[in-house]
Structure 1
Amino acid sequence: MHLVGLNLPEILLGLWRATLYTEGSDKYEFWDWAVLRGDIWEKHGRTVASLASYLPGSFYQAPRNPALKMNSGYKAWEFLVYLFVLGPAVFRGVLPDKYWRHFCRLVAGIRVFLQHRIQREQLLEAHLNLVQFVEEYELLYYQRNKNRLHFCRQSIHLLIHVSPETHRIGPPALHAQWTMETAIGNLTREIRQDSNPFANLMKVGLCRAQINGLKASFPELEPDPSPPRGSSELGDGYILLRARERTAHAVQDYEIPVFRRFFQAKGFQFSGSVVPKVTRWARLHLPNGQIARSAWKEYLKPLSNIRMSRMVKVQIDGYVHFAEVKFYFALNINNCFHAFALVAYFGEVDHTLAALSHNTLLVYQCLGNLGLDIISVKNIKAVVAMPPLPLTPQEEADEEVHPGQYAGRVFLAEKPGLEIFHLGGNDENDDDDTSSENAGNEKH
C-alpha cells in the first residue's frame, strides 16, 4: 500500500515537478525530466480531473486534480489510480519520451503485483521489468552523481525484492495494509465515548470477534441479501437489474440487421418488413460484485454527473474483447429465460503504442455502430474504463490542421485488485435501485 500509493508517487512526482531539494553543484536547470511545472502542471492536472467521469463507481475515489489537491488530503488510492492506472496515458507527451517509457516499465511491473493471482511467467516478467527499471533509474536520474544520492531511496531499491518476496509469501494484494487501514477506520467509528478510548476500542474489537465467530458457526444468522425489487436472477451470480421498459421497444434502424441475424440464429424467422422488438433492461450485476450499466440510461445524464460503467470486458471462446453496452434484453427460448446484451465492440489495439509502453497503454478505436453485436450477458466478465486518450502537444497541433484526425481513440483502464474488492464482500453499491427512480425509468 505505502510503496505504490505513497512512496513511489512522492519520489517520481518530486523529480518531475522539481520539488526535491538539490545539493552541491546540482541545479534544477540540469533536470531535463522536470517538466511538470507552471502551465504544463496546471494543464496536466485538469486532464487528470477530466477523466473522473469515465471511471466506474467500483473504482472508488477517482483522482482529483493533482495540481490543486496534491497537498490537501490526496489519498493513497488516488495516487495508485493516477500513476498506475491512468499514468501511461496522461504522462504520454508530457514527460520526455525516454522517461515516459522508463515509467511505463515500472507500471508494467507494479500492475502484476496488484493482482490476486499471479502466474509464474507473469512473476518472472514483472521481476525483469522492475530490475531494469531500477537500473535505468540510476542511469537516467541519479547518473552516478554524488549530489543526487538522495534520489536513491529505499523505496526504489525495494522494487528488486518484490518478486522474490511474492514467491515466498504470496501476492502483495493479500497482505497489503489496505485491509488493516479499513479495519482501523471501522473500529474507531464504532467508539461512542471519548473517555477511555482504548478500553472502548478493546470492547468493540471483542464484540466484533464474537459476532464473526457466531456468523462463521451459524451462517443462517446472516442470510444472503435478497435481490433488489424487480430484478431477475440469471444464475452464476448474474442478475438483471432495473430500470426496465414496460413494453417492448422497436429497435433502431441501424440495429435491425444485427437483431435479424441474431433471431435467425436462434430459430426465429422474420419477413423483410417486420421490425424486431425487445424489452430493454438498464443494468447487470456481475459475479465479481460490479454493476455494468448501459448507454440507454447513461446517455440521459450529463457526463459531469455520472461515473461511466457501461464499458465491459467480454470473453468469448477464450478471447478477450472490450465493448460498450447499449442495453440488455431477455428472451424466453425453449421455456428458458436467457439474457443478452447489445454491445458495440472497440477496434484492434494500437500495437505501436502498446510496444512502446511495455503493454501498459492499450489504445483502441471506437467503431460505433459498425461494431454492433449481440452477446450473452454471461460473456461479460468485468466493468472497465475506456477514457478518451489525451492528445500530445504534437497531436493537438495536427488536430488544428486536420480536425477529427484523432477522434474516437480510447485507452483501457482496469480496476486494480478487483478480485480482492469482491472477496472482501464489497459489492458495488446498488444506489440506482430506488423505487422513485425505477418508477420514472419504466416510463421510457
Structure 2
Amino acid sequence: MHLVWENVLKNLVSLWTGEYKGLDSGTEDYVLDPDVWKAIGEATASAGSTIPSVYGPRPPNVQADRTACTADSWSFWALYIAPVVLRGRFRQEKYYNHFIKLIKILHTCLQFELTRAEVESVRTGLANWVTEYEGIYYQHDSMRLSACPVTIHALLHVADSILLSGPVWASWSFPMERYCGILKPAIRSRRFPFVALDNYVADTAQLAQLKVVYSAAEALGLRSPVRDHSTSIPGYIEIDTHALLDDTCALLPPKRVPETLADGLRDKILGCLSTRYDVPGAAVRFLLPQKIARWGKVQILGGGDLIRSSNLGGSREDSRNASFVRYESLVDRNVSYRNRPTILELRTFYGELQDIFVLKMPASQTLKLTEPEHLVLAGIRTCTLDNRSAPGGLDIHYYTNTGRYEVIDMKNIQCLVGRIFDRGQWAIVDRSGGLARAMYNDDEDV
C-alpha cells in the first residue's frame, strides 16, 4: 500500500496545491486556493485532539508540516479525515468525487478478507479511476506527460497482486519499516555499523529464545510490567468462541465513593431499570440503592477500547478525547403511535460517555431476581445526527448539537469513535462499521 500512501496520494496533494513538477491545472480547475489548503491543514491537526489515540498517531498538519507525514499518517488522513475536510473545497465537485472513488476502492483493498468478486471490482474500479485521472490531470496533452508517473500505471496491477499474494495487509511494508526503525538506534559505531547491527540482532534473538524456553517473558522483559488496577464486576460475562467465560468489561480508577445522586440522575437510572426489568418506575424506586458509586474509565475486554467518562475520567490539556462512543439500543418502532403494539428494533447511536455508574440491585420478587445483581450503567449524552448525506456514500455521520442524556447498560457500548470538526459541524469517524480496515499493530516487546 506504500504505492498509494507514499506515491499516488502525495502526487494528488501536490497537484491540488499546484506544486507538482511545475504543472498548472491546464484546462481543468483542480488547484485549491492557498487559504483553503491552510484551513484543511489546520482542521487535520486539530482533529488529533478529538480522535482517540487507539486510532493511531496524532495526525500532523498536512499543509504546514508535511515532512512529519508518514505512510501511516497519510493512510489515516486519506481514509478518514480527507473525505470530511475536502468536501466542498474544490471549485468543481468532480475532483472530490474522483478522489472518493479511490478511497472507496482502498477500503475494499484493506478488508481482512476479499472474495474474487471484490477483487474484480477493485480491478474494474482502479481501471476506471486511472482513466478519469488521465482526463483530469494528464488531459491527453504531451506537455503534461509528467502527470502520469509509473505509480499511476501500477494501480492497474493491484488486483493481480491481491490474487497472487492475498489481501494487501499480507504483503505491505509496515512490518519492515518498523523493524528498520528498531534497528536504527542499535548503530553505535560509525566505523563498524554492520557489526553493531549483527550484535543487536543476535542479542535480541537470544533474549527472545530465553523468554520462550524458560517462560520468562515478564522477568526478562525490557519494559516495566503493567500493573492491573482494574475491577471486574460479577455478572458481566460472555461466552467467547472457545467456550470460556470472560468478563466483558473492567472498571479503572479514578473512582468516586458511593454518593447520593441528584434527582435528575436518579430518574434517568430509574427509567433504565424500569425498561430492563419491565416494571413500573415506582416499583424500582424503593429498591434502588440510595448511594451509587461512579468510576472514571472502563476497559472493554477481548480486544476492546479503553473509554473515559468525561465527568470523572480526567484528562491532560494535551490529551486526546476518548469519551465518544458508538452504542446500540432497542427502540420501539411505534413509539409515536399510542394504540399500536410495541415493536422493538436494534438501532445504532453515538454519544459522549459522561458517567459510569455501578450499583447492586437486591434480590426481589418484583424484579424477578432470586439473588442480588450487579449492574454497570453508562450515562450518555447523545449526538443528534444531522440529515446530511455521507460523503461519497462512506459510513460517516454528522452532528451539530448534542441531545438527551440517557442511561443504558454498559454492555450496549460497542467502541470508541473519533470526531472531526470542520466548518461548524462535527463528523463522526467510526472504524467499526463500513470504514473498518486491517491495521498493522506493533506490540512486540523488544
TM-score normalised according to structure 1 size:
0.77
Task: State the alpha-carbon separation in 2 of the partners of residues 272 and 338 from structure 1.
Answer: 17
Q: Offset of 1:19 from its aligned partner?
A: 0.9
Given that 2:308 and 2:353 are in contact with CA atoms closer than 8 Å, whether structure 1 keeps it comes out as yes
| 2:48 counterpart of 1:34 | no
Amino acid at match of 2:307: A
Deviations 1:319-378 (A, max 9, x none): 65433212223334545644332223434574x632xx332362233663426341334x
The partner residue of 1:311 within 307, 320, 324 is 324
* Structure (1 or 2) with the larger CA radius of gyration: 2
| 2:309 counterpart of 1:294 | yes
Amino acid at match of 1:326: Q
Partner of 2:240: none
Task: State the alpha-carbon separation in 2 of the partners of residues 202 and 228 from structure 1.
Answer: 37
Deviations 1:44-93 (A, max 9, x none): 322222222111122332222222212x4332222222222100111111
Amino acid at match of 2:418: A
Task: State the alpha-carbon separation in 2 of the partners of residues 374 and 366 from structure 1.
Answer: 23
Given that 2:52 and 2:322 are in contact with CA atoms closer than 8 Å, whether structure 1 keeps it comes out as yes
Task: State the alpha-carbon separation in 2 of the partners of residues 331 and 366 from structure 1.
Answer: 33
- Indicate how the Cα distance of structure 1 residues 271 and 82 shifts in structure 2: closer, same or farther if over 3 A, else same: closer
Q: Offset of 1:276 from its aligned partner?
A: 6.6
The partner residue of 1:49 within 45, 53, 75 is 45
- Indicate how the Cα distance of structure 1 residues 174 and 216 shifts in structure 2: closer, same or farther if over 3 A, else same: farther
Task: State the alpha-carbon separation in 1 of the partners of residues 217 and 372 from structure 2.
Answer: 36
Task: State the alpha-carbon separation in 2 of the partners of residues 369 and 347 from structure 1.
Answer: 6
Task: State the alpha-carbon separation in 2 of the partners of residues 159 and 419 from structure 1.
Answer: 19
Higher relative contact order (CA 8 A, sep 6+): 1
**Structure 1 stretch 368-377 or stretch 2-11: which is displaced more?**
368-377
| 2:443 counterpart of 1:425 | yes
The partner residue of 1:263 within 270, 273, 293 is 273
Partner of 2:299: 285
Task: State the alpha-carbon separation in 1 of the partners of residues 100 and 393 from structure 2.
Answer: 8
- Indicate how the Cα distance of structure 1 residues 43 and 365 shifts in structure 2: closer, same or farther if over 3 A, else same: closer
Given that 1:88 and 1:361 are in contact with CA atoms closer than 8 Å, whether structure 2 keeps it comes out as no
| 2:351 counterpart of 1:323 | yes
Partner of 2:258: 247
- C-alpha RMSD of the superposition: 3.5
Aligned residues: 398
The partner residue of 1:102 within 89, 98, 112 is 98
| 2:399 counterpart of 1:365 | yes
Partner of 2:249: 238
Amino acid at match of 2:379: L
Q: Offset of 1:143 from its aligned partner?
A: 2.2
Given that 1:296 and 1:326 are in contact with CA atoms closer than 8 Å, whether structure 2 keeps it comes out as yes
Gaps of 5+ in 2: 237-245, 331-345, 362-370
Partner of 1:353: 389
Q: Offset of 1:241 from its aligned partner?
A: 1.4
TM-score normalised according to structure 2 size:
0.76
Judging by fraction of residues, say which structure has more helix: 1
- Indicate how the Cα distance of structure 1 residues 38 and 226 shifts in structure 2: closer, same or farther if over 3 A, else same: closer
Judging by fraction of residues, say which structure has more strand: 2
1:42-441 matches, within 5 Å, as 42-70=38-66, 72-95=67-90, 96-118=92-114, 123-219=119-215, 221-222=217-218, 227-229=227-229, 231-232=231-232, 235-236=246-247, 238-251=249-262, 253=264, 255-267=265-277, 269-271=283-285, 277-286=291-300, 287-288=302-303, 290-297=305-312, 305-314=318-327, 320-332=348-360, 334-335=371-372, 337-347=374-384, 350=387, 353-354=389-390, 357-360=391-394, 362-365=396-399, 368-370=402-404, 372-377=406-411, 379-388=412-421, 390-391=422-423, 409-414=426-431, 420-421=439-440, 424-425=442-443
Given that 1:340 and 1:376 are in contact with CA atoms closer than 8 Å, whether structure 2 keeps it comes out as yes
Q: Percent identity?
A: 22
